[in-house]
Amino acid sequence: MNHGLPLSTDRPGEPHLPYLIDTEPDPPEPDLPLSSSGLGRSLLFLLLITTTTPRMSTVKPVLISGGGLASLLLAQSLRLSKIPFQIFERDASFSFRAQGYRLRLSPEGLDAIESVLGPEHFQRFWDKCGKTGGSGVSVINAVTAELISQTNPEALVSRGGKVVGIARGDMRKIFAEGCEDHIEWSKHVAGYELTDDGVRAVFADGTKSIEGSLLVGGEGISSKVAKQVSGGKIKVYDTGARGIHGQAPTRSFRLLGEGVFRLTDPTHPNGTISIITNVRSGDMDDPDIEFGWTMIGPPGAIRAPNDNYSIVGKGAAAIAQDLTKNWHPSFKPLFVDMNEAEAAFWKITCSTPSGVPEWPNEPRVTVIGDAAHSMTPAGGIGANTAVRDSALLGRLLREAGGYGPGVTAEYEKGMREYASAAVHSSYSSAVNAFGIKIEEGSSATI
Ligand SMILES: Cc1cc2nc3c(=O)[nH]c(=O)nc-3n(C[C@H](O)[C@H](O)[C@H](O)COP(=O)(O)OP(=O)(O)OC[C@H]3O[C@@H](n4cnc5c(N)ncnc54)[C@H](O)[C@@H]3O)c2cc1C
C-alpha cells in the first residue's frame, strides 16, 4: 500500500517505481479509555504515533541487465510472483535492430517456458509458434539440387511430432507482455557496484541505477556483469566461424516442400557453406509471413568487408547473394527475393567448452542465458538453455519470496549442471560440423 509518502530511495532523475509494500498489516486501532487528562492525552498521542505511523519497508527491485529472451522470461516469472523488477536494455526499442531469425524450441525449452507463463499466456505463445511436419531433415546439394540424405532425427521434434519454432522478435514480445512499463530503454549496462544492502547497475555513461536487491546479468555474449561477477572466469571464445541470417517471402521456399532443409555447397574454396531452413506448409500462402534461413561456414568461408561483422541489411544480404550465386535455380529465390533489411551477420562464439566455470558466489549478482553460457548454433540449444535459467531462477526467487542470501548460489549450482552439458554438446557437434577448435585459455576471446 502506498501511503503517498515520498520514497526513500527516490533520487532525482530516477523513475518512480511502485516498490513500496507493507511488511505487516495495519495494526488494530488501540482500545483505550479516552481521558481528557494531560497524561491520558500524551499517552494516547504516543500510542497513536507508535501504532498508526505506517510501517513500510522498501522492497528493492530485482535489477535485470538486458531485455533479451532470458531476461524477459525471468521478468514474467517475477511479475507473476509479485516480486518487483526493473530491466535495463541497451537498444532504444524492441525493433531497434533486425530480430529476424527463428529459434527452434526443444522439449526442455518449451517445458521451461510453459512452467513460467500461465496457461492462457502459454497458449498465446504456442499459437504463435510454427509447427513443421514433413519428412525430417533433408540434406541437399545446393548446387546440383541432389538429395544427399534424409533423416528423421528424434532430437529435432519437440511436441506433437513436430519441429516447433518461433521468430525471436515474436518470442520477446510475448514474454514482455505486462512487463513493458518496467523496461528502461537505451541503458547500456557496463558493470555494477555493491552497496551495504543491495546492488546498483552502473551504466556506460557513468550514471547508476536505483538500488536493487539483486542484479541479474542477461545481456548476452558481451555481458560485462558476467565478466565482473566471475572475475573474468566466464569467457566467450570467438570460433572464427561466421554466419548470416536472412529471410524471404514464403513463396520463395515453395519448391522445397515442407520440412527442415540443409542446403550445402561444397564448392567454395574456403570450406563448405550451408544454410538451414524450416518450411511449414500451413504458412506457405500467407503473404504476411516470411521464412528465415541461417547460413554458416567454417572459419574463413564467410567474410565481411574489413572484418566488420556489425554490418546489417543490404551489405549482409549482398554477401549472402554473392556466396550463393552458383546455387541451383530452385534455391535462388531464397536470396534473390530476400528481405534485405533483415539480413545480419553472426559471429559464432562459444563459452568454455568444458563447462560453465566456478566462481565465488556473489549472493547479490548472477547471470543468465548467453551471458552465462554462449553456444554454437550446432544443436540449436542456446535459447532453450537460456529459458531454463529464467524458469529456475524465477522459481527459486518465488520460493524465497524475493531476494534471499542463498538463492543465487542454488541457482548457479543447478544451472552449471545442465548448461555445462549443453555447451559441451554444442561445441562437440560444431567441431565436426563447422571445423572449429577452441584451445581453452589460449584461443581468441571476444
Ligand atoms: C542466427 C541465430 C540462430 C539461432 N538459433 C537458435 C535456435 O534455433 N535455438 C536456440 O535454442 N538458440 C538459437 N540461437 C541462440 C539464441 O538466440 C540465444 O541463445 C538467445 O537469444 C540467448 O538469449 P539471451 O536472453 O541470453 O540473450 P540475447 O537474446 O542475446 O539478449 C541480450 C539482450 O541484452 C541486450 N544487451 C546487450 N548488451 C547490453 C548492455 N551492455 N546493456 C544492456 N543491454 C544489453 C541486447 O540488446 C539484447 O536485447 C540462435 C542465435 C542466432 C544468432
Higher per-residue pLDDT: 307 or 296: 296
Does residue 120 register a pLDDT over 60?
yes
Ligand 1 centroid to Cα of residue 371, in Å, is 9
Round to whole Å and give the CA distance between 235 and 210: 28
Share of the chain above pLDDT 70, in %: 85
- Please give the pLDDT value at position 153: 67
11, pLDDT greater than 60: no
Query: Could you read off the pLDDT of 401-415 as tens digits, one per residue?
Result: 999 999 999 999 999
Predicted pLDDT of residue 255 = 87
Q: Is the pLDDT of residue 435 over 60?
A: yes
Residue 97's pLDDT is 52
Provide the percentage of residues in the chain whose pLDDT is more than 90: 65
Instruction: For residue range 45-63, list pLDDT tens digits in order.
Output: 333 333 333 333 469 999 9
**Cβ neighbours around 174 below 10 Å, total:** 22
Distance CA(249)–CA(259), nearest Å, equals 16
Rounded CA-CA distance 143/325 in Å is 9
Q: What is the pLDDT of residue 407?
A: 98
Task: Write out pLDDT tens, residues 79-89.
Answer: 999 999 999 99
Cα 92 to ligand 1 centroid, rounded to whole Å: 16
Task: List the helix and strand counts (H, then E) for the chain.
Answer: 10, 19
Say how many Å lie between the first and final Cα of the chain, rounded: 47
Query: Residue of the nearest CA to atom 31 in ligand 1?
Result: 68
- Examine the pLDDT at 9 and tell me if it is beyond 60: no
**Distance, CA 105 to ligand 1 centroid (Å)?**
14
CA distance 374 to 351: 5
196: which 3 cell numbers? 551495504
Question: Who contacts 191 (Cβ-Cβ below 8 Å, separation ≥6)?
Answer: 201, 202, 224, 225, 228
pLDDT in tens, 164-180: 989 888 999 999 999 99
CA of 35 to the centre of ligand 1 (A): 68
Of 117-121, 211-215, 378-382, the one with minimum mean pLDDT is 378-382
Residue 312 has a pLDDT of 85
Strand partners, 57: 21
Pocket of ligand 1 (CB under 6 A): 65-71, 88-91, 101, 103-104, 188-189, 218-220, 222, 245, 294, 346, 369-371, 377, 380-384, 386
| Residue-wise pLDDT tens digits, 128-143 | 998 887 667 899 999 9
DSSP code for 162: B
Among the residue ranges 4-18, 283-297, 324-338, 399-413, the one predicted with the least confidence is 4-18
pLDDT given at position 145:
96
Element containing residue 70 per DSSP (H, E): helix 69-80
Question: What is the number of other CB atoms lying within 10 angstroms of the CB of residue 133?
Answer: 15
Q: Supply the DSSP string of 367-428, one letter for each residue.
A: E-GGGT----STTS-HHHHHHHHHHHHHHHHHHHTS--TTHHHHHHHHHHHHHHHHHHHHHH
Please tell me the residue having the least CA distance from ligand 1 atom 29: 68
Mean pLDDT within 256-263: 88
Q: How far apart are CA 65 and CA 365, in angstroms?
A: 11
Q: Are 438 and 427 in contact (CB under 8 A)?
A: yes
How does DSSP classify residue 34? -
Q: What is the pLDDT of residue 348?
A: 92
Average pLDDT in the 386-395 region? 98
**pLDDT greater than 80 at residue 383:** yes
Three-class SS of 188-234: CEEEEEEECCEEEEEECCCCECCCECEEEECCHHHCHHHHHHCCCCC
User: Which of 86-100, 167-181, 356-370 is predicted with the least confidence, judged by mean pLDDT?
Assistant: 86-100
| pLDDT higher than 70, residue 13 | no
- For 231, the grid coordinates are 572475475
Give the lowest-confidence range in 213-222, 228-237, 320-329, 425-434: 425-434
Q: Which atom of ligand 1 is nearest to the CA of 91?
A: 47
Q: Which helix (H) or strand (E) holds 52?
A: helix 38-52
Q: Which residue has the higher pLDDT, 238 or 287?
A: 238
pLDDT computed for residue 55 by the predictor: 36
